Each structure stands twice: as C-alpha cells, then as structure tokens.
Structure 1
Amino acid sequence: MSTHASHPDIIKRLRRAEGHLRSIVTMLEQGRGCLEIAQQLQAVESAVASAKKTLVHDHIDHCLEHAVRDGRQSADETIREFKAITKYL
C-alpha cells in the first residue's frame, strides 16, 4: 500500500477533528447549550467531509490515472473503481 501525498494533511485534519470531538463530549458532560454544541458538531462534520473529499479526489487524480497509464488496471476496472469511490462524495 502506498502513501498518497495528501495523506499527511488528511491525518492532521482528522486528528484535529478527533480532538475537537472529544471537547464536544466534554461540553455535553458539562451541560453546555445545545446551539453551541450543534455548531461545534457541524464544524467536526465539515472537517471529516473535507478530509473524505480530499482522499477521494486524490485517489481519482493519482491512483486511478496511474493505474491506467502504467497498465496495472484495464479501463473497465478503472471505471468500476471510479464509480465505486465517487459514491462517497
């Protein structure tokens, strides 16, 4: 398994979101207001969605393109994989 150029950035984003999520749990335990908690949950959700989008785009831009160019995958296999991964966008 190869590491993608975007993976370090994605890991940073997800670690930040993980810490943020832990702070939201603390907010809930402290009885903080629902509006404030909902806003923070939205921020975490956006961060995770952005990380996922970056991962999918990187896979399409690099892995699928190189697989076809290098002859590691047929065009049909690449199209199937493209369709499979884009359902996560």
Structure 2
Amino acid sequence: MAEYIHGTHPEIVKRLKRAEGHLKSVIAMIESGRPCLDIAQQLHAVEKAIMQAKRTLIQDHLDHCLEDTVGALPRGKRRSIDEFKSITKYL
C-alpha cells in the first residue's frame, strides 16, 4: 500500500492529540461530577477540533490526490473541479 503523507498531516496529528487530551479531561470531569455546562463546553471544543482536523484532511486530499488524478484540464472543465473543492469546505 502506498504512503499518503502530506504537509498538513503533522499539524492534523498535533490537533488530534490535543483533542485526545481534552477528551480525557472531559472524561475526568464527568467522573468527578463537574457541572454539565462545563462538560458540554469542553465536549464542544473537542468536537470542533476533530471537525477541523477532518476538514483539513479532506481539503488536503482534494488539493493533492484529486489534482494528481485529474491532471491539467482546460479552463471550462477546471471550473467544476474548483467548485467541488470549494463546496467541500462546508462539510
């Protein structure tokens, strides 16, 4: 199997490790009986970090892997690919 390592991967790993640490904190908060509002706020931060990591991974894949597969296209066809890449930012 080929390796798929891109320039953004170290940053994604760092972000996910940070989210992992926050998630462990959330578990400890629940176990220690912290207020639900505090827990919900921390869970929201974890969720946001994971979503951003996913978004970065998908965008990176589109920018590199899709470009390699599609190759050079005439401007008319290029527009569809560019629009597809842009709309995925809203996932």
Structure 2 length-normalised TM: 0.75
Partner residue of 1:52? 54
Cα displacement string for residues 42-68 of structure 1 (whole angstroms, at most 9, x for unaligned residues): 000000000000000111111101122
Return the alpha-carbon distance in structure 2 between the equivalents of residues 67 and 18 of structure 1.
34
Return the alpha-carbon distance in structure 1 between the equivalents of residues 49 and 68 of structure 2.
28
User: Unmatched 5+ residue regions in structure 1?
Assistant: 71-78
SS at 2:6's partner residue?
Answer: coil
Amino acid at match of 1:37: I
Cα displacement string for residues 57-86 of structure 1 (whole angstroms, at most 9, x for unaligned residues): 11111110112228xxxxxxxx8xx7xxx5
* Selected match of 1:37 from 36, 39, 60: 39
- What is the total number of aligned residue pairs between the two structures? 77
User: Unmatched 5+ residue regions in structure 2?
Assistant: 73-80
Return the alpha-carbon distance in structure 2 between the equivalents of residues 53 and 38 of structure 1.
22
Shift of 1:2: 2.2
Q: Which runs of 4+ in 1 moved over 3 A?
A: none
Shift of 1:16: 0.2
Partner residue of 1:3? 5
Amino acid at match of 1:11: V
SS at 2:11's partner residue?
Answer: helix
Return the alpha-carbon distance in structure 2 between the equivalents of residues 18 and 41 of structure 1.
11
Partner residue of 2:76? none
Return the alpha-carbon distance in structure 2 between the equivalents of residues 68 and 45 of structure 1.
33
Amino acid at match of 1:64: L
Return the alpha-carbon distance in structure 2 between the equivalents of residues 2 and 36 of structure 1.
38
